[in-house]
Amino acid sequence: MRLNQFRFLVALKKYGTISRAAQQLYISQPSLSAAIKELEEELGFEVVKRTRKGVVFTAQGEQVLEHSQKILQEIEEIQKLSGQTASMLQGTLTIGCVPYVYHSIILDTLMEMKQQYPKLNTRLQEDSSYGLAEKVHQRELDLGIIMMSNLEKESWKAMLQNYQLEYRKLFNDRMYFWVGQAHKLYPQESITMAEALQYPFITYRNVLNNYNRSMLLEYNKSLDIIQLDDRESLYKYLRKSQAITVMPMCTLSQDDYYLNGIVKPLQILDFEWVTQVGMIYRQDEAESIEQKEFTALLLQKIPHEPDA
């Protein structure tokens, strides 16, 4: 049994349907249904019955629900013993993040959280999505903020299940090719994959995973890939060269490089390349007060979803 399963039962009782409970918990309906089914199989009896109007708890299910509520209440009481209340957090929160949103949404959220809770210790690490999944699994991180493109959904589904990680969607975004003012393509508004990949391609650290790399090489097997290890070098290279890179809009939408026209996004005409930013955490551990507060602040900062 997992603590998240107890939370799911409480949410089902409160909201009445799987769809509404999943929406409030920021998880998918299949994930919630699978967790309840797994609990029922472990218990050996049915906890809830699915009806056209929603879910109804069985007699035994009501008893499980009652115990679940007590367990969650006890956990909250234990957390309060350390003085960790919403008004005075003083624990430690370790978060990993992909570079695409590290310097914008996530860093801003942590800075605001630190201002509100000066006694809170925070650590922020930058890594690829797959590296973050490994670190959350190994308990090196409390949370991971990842990006999952439409090219790798099945791979992520298997990884999340294998590592017993919960996934919470934050927002959708679309990938664009980006060029600097000196680039020949700067006057254009859109471009095809083949046209774009005739130019040197810049990537930042290890964010170009095998799925994306293989897709790019299908368009140009001799693609010149240049890997840079810091953000400013990437922007300087992009600004002064004929190189090109690919990033979601959220990376630069509030950045001076974009706002001042120093770099520019080009829409991809012939390839549907979308991505989703989400949060991962372990299924077998209760969310701490620090995690809940961080999530609440983060949800206030996520951008509106583009048409994707």
**Domain edges within the chain:** 3-80, 83-308
pLDDT in tens, 256-306: 889 899 999 999 999 999 999 999 998 877 777 788 888 888 888 776 554
By residue count, the chain amounts to: 308
| pLDDT for 308 beyond 60 | no
For the whole model, what pTM was predicted? Answer: 0.71
Q: 48 - beta bridge partners?
A: 57
Name residues whose C-beta falls within 8 Å of residue 26's C-beta, 6 or more positions apart in sequence.
Answer: 168, 169
| pLDDT for 123 beyond 60 | yes
Region 3-80: CATH code: 1.10.10.10
Q: 217 - beta bridge partners?
A: none
> How much is the pLDDT for 81?
61
- Average pLDDT estimate for 133-152: 92
Coil, strand or helix at 167? strand
- Average pLDDT estimate for 168-178: 92
Topology adopted by domain 83-308: D-Maltodextrin-Binding Protein; domain 2 (3.40.190)
pLDDT in tens, 133-142: 999 999 999 9
| CA gap 178, 188 in Å, rounded | 11
pLDDT in tens, 200-259: 999 988 788 888 889 999 999 999 999 998 888 888 999 999 999 999 998 888 788 898
